[in-house]
Structure 1
Amino acid sequence: MAQASSTTTPARKPRLMLFTDSFLAGGTERQFSSVVTQLDRKKYDLHVGCIQRRGPFLAEVEALGIPIQHYPIPSLRSPGTLCWMSRLVDYLRCERIDAVHAFDFYTGAFAVPAARWAGVPVIIVSRREVAALRPPLQRWVIRLYCQMATAIVANSRAASVSLTGFFGARSGKVTIVPNGIDLADFPPRQPDEAVRQQLELPADAPLVGILAALRPEKDHATFLRAAALVHAVLPEARFLVIGGGPERVRLESLVAELGLKDSVLFLGDRRDVADLLAALEVVVLSSLTESSPNAVLEAMAAARPVVATRVGGVPDLVEDGATGFLVPPGAPAAMSQRILDLLRSSELRHAFGTAGRARVEREFTTQQVKQRLEALYDRLLGARLALEKSLVDPARA
């Protein structure tokens, strides 16, 4: 009787294609870039797809030498979108992609149907926000592509609850993978005097900052009204608004109305966020809705105390009375009181900052995100690759 050959076919690397809308300086784009950079390329054959091939994180991904496929659809309703979707289908089939992971709304709406059309066995979508942020038609689209997906990654318990309660996703489909921070980017350090000099701020002025895009849901108006209340008690305090967006003109008018023109600085989008955080005494988040805000994690990683609204997934990050204070949304009086509590006590600021840094080290690093995603990929792809191996190597079936 002939003996079975001892030669076996070596296992091939799973082929993963990760999709982002763009490489702009947003929270989702930052997390996408971090994941692509961190994933083990000895273990996976990585491919990247995008709709907009632009933004500050593009060079970081290009430097890895990973193939980046560009699908420049002007909108989901554009007549040319089906043509670009067909090109994606061809690519997925030609490259024999095993798994597609779409990181945001637009890539979910574009890449998930294409992956189903191409017969990709594993389809993953990420949900990084709660239902309130989307109009009805987009909510319907989300519900549809979540039904098509093999698995859904939520970055907070709030996003997970939104998926199962609002979008009808099965709880067994949902895996929570919180956002992660590269601790090397935010070393805890003493306040940065160079930033004060650059911004022409008094050396002894207490500095309070908010790091968020200037969009309605971030509710900067509450932060500015809280700043006015703090200013009435500590007129030497200064307030930094870090981030750009469509609300800037309206917010600048509010600053003038509140009599804060000499106390509030709008800094726009910045790449030196770590330096700015190092100069601040207190970091504030005034959002009306959030899932897992990077700004809070960055502040905690930089060992800065946080005053944040108790919304969405924020309580998963900020431990009230230990790493910061939680206040109701839209409540400038409560917010201002907690800011003053921190400005009046360097000991409290130090204790909260130290505890916040320790919590990020324990639970919210990019390495932990990598491990959680790789565990998910391996679980979903394991059965697929085992079946494929049994077909090419029957002796081991």
Structure 2
Amino acid sequence: MTPVSSHSPHGQSPLRTVQVLGGGNAASSAHVRSLASGLVARGVRVTVCAPVEADHTYDFTGAGAEHVHVPRSSDPASVAALRAACADADLVHAHGLHASFRAVLALSGRRTPLVVTWHNRAHAEGARAHLLRLLERRVVKAAVVVLGTTSDLVDRARRTGARDARLAAVALPGPRRAVADHEDLDPLSPKLRAELGATDRPLLLAVGSLDRQRGYDTLLDASRGWCRLDPAPLLVIAGEGPLRGELQRRIEDEELPVRLIGRRDDVGDLLAAADLALLPSSWESRSVIAQEALHARVPLVATAVGGVPELVGDAAELVPYGDAKALADAVTGLLRDPERRELLREKGARQAATWPTEDETVAQVLSVYDELTQPLPFT
């Protein structure tokens, strides 16, 4: 691979970039950590502006970047702190809508190029949805380049007014637990299955915050469809969120074969123990759990929404969002068909091999930086 230049426009000093994070999205934070590490290794100076809690979790300084605490707020003090951090930057790269809006405010009146990455789609209803659309328009008009992690995000940026929107599918940074072959005997799996109560029954796994967009209401509806199987599968949902009480009441009142196990840091181990992974969301971009499932050779049933079809291709069972019967039928069909499960494992491994590596992701981003910071040739 030809190395990409890491010099400033005048070639006198290393390129200096500022990465701006809101601090609320795990996928974008992990991406910035990976990006910072790769850029620093290529001689780029990197400053990460993010809440201090994000640095504690993702260790940007450990990747060789400078960290500047900027609260997750658009108040004047936060914008002023960000403006100061960007004072001598050759380029600013903001991740997510709210971080991007703060960067637009901080760079007001300056000619510093702004690159924006959309990792996900902001969700809101009513008046707040209108506000988000206004923020999106303000951001894409100020950005020199908008990078979308999925084709539909790129299309959305173009519809919103972006002058230059490109696909930049980010790598899955450091899977939580590499599983070379799900069929290998994993010494942790029997113990974990016993702890969860799935020693002699299929184990189904869903992972994600307990909020409305995750589609867990539909998932609970679908669980009634596989109650009749013998033995009845156990569905385990890892995550926390505002719907926990509501979901728990339904599980108890309807006697559903479902367990809420809270936020976990052993998702890789849970995947290794699971028979199927389920993703019933109303929208996803490059879903981390979908990527981890295919890497781990765990058959996946997911909704055909957002960037999911583009991400998984034909390596998963895709169903319409909100269709509990289709979801239940897909799950029961797979549990009854070991040959289909094995085929999905093989297809999943092949599909995962097509995704960009961290090195390729860094190289693509750096090529964009190089393009935007090179001096114009003399005519």
Both proteins in one fold, TM over 0.5: yes
Question: TM-score with structure 1 length normalisation?
Answer: 0.84
Counterpart position of 2:63:
64
Residues 236-385 of structure 1 mapped to structure 2, 5 A cutoff: 236-260=232-256, 263-320=257-314, 323-383=315-375
State the distance in 2 between where 1:360 and 1:377 align. 27
> 1:188-220, CA deviations, whole angstroms, 9 ceiling, x for partnerless residues?
333622321333x24221011111211111111
Counterpart code for 1:309: T
State the distance in 1 between where 2:319 and 2:55 align. 33
State the distance in 2 between where 1:246 and 1:144 align. 30
Question: Does the 8 A contact of 1:156 with 1:178 survive in 2?
Answer: yes
> 1:104-130, CA deviations, whole angstroms, 9 ceiling, x for partnerless residues?
12211112221243432x101111223
Residues 156, 89 of structure 1: alpha-carbon distance in 2 compared, 3 angstrom cutoff: same
1:150 to 144, 150, 158: 144
State the distance in 2 between where 1:246 and 1:315 align. 28
Give the 3-state SS of the residue equivalent to 2:52 in structure 1: coil
> 1:312-331, CA deviations, whole angstroms, 9 ceiling, x for partnerless residues?
111101223xx111101100
State the distance in 2 between where 1:118 and 1:25 align. 28
Give the 3-state SS of the residue equivalent to 2:93 in structure 1: strand
Counterpart position of 2:201:
205
Q: Which structure has the bigger radius of gyration?
A: 1
- 5+ residue gaps in structure 2? 1-9
Residues 111, 25 of structure 1: alpha-carbon distance in 2 compared, 3 angstrom cutoff: closer
- 5+ residue gaps in structure 1? 1-8, 391-396
Residue 171 of structure 2 is aligned to residue 180 of structure 1: yes
> 1:226-284, CA deviations, whole angstroms, 9 ceiling, x for partnerless residues?
12211222443111101111111111122123311xx2121222111111111111111
Give the 3-state SS of the residue equivalent to 1:138 in structure 2: helix
State the distance in 2 between where 1:65 and 1:180 align. 20
Give the 3-state SS of the residue equivalent to 2:115 in structure 1: strand
Cα displacement (A) at 1:160? 1.2
State the distance in 1 between where 2:246 and 2:201 align. 26
Counterpart code for 1:251: L
Cα displacement (A) at 1:311? 1.0
Give the 3-state SS of the residue equivalent to 1:54 in structure 2: helix
RMSD, aligned α-carbons: 2.3
State the distance in 2 between where 1:57 and 1:315 align. 34
Q: Percent identity?
A: 24
State the distance in 2 between where 1:127 and 1:159 align. 7
Give the 3-state SS of the residue equivalent to 1:63 in structure 2: helix
Question: Does the 8 A contact of 2:145 with 2:162 survive in 1?
Answer: no
Equivalent pairs counted in the alignment come to 361
Residues 364, 10 of structure 1: alpha-carbon distance in 2 compared, 3 angstrom cutoff: closer
Cα displacement (A) at 1:349? 1.6
Counterpart code for 2:115: I
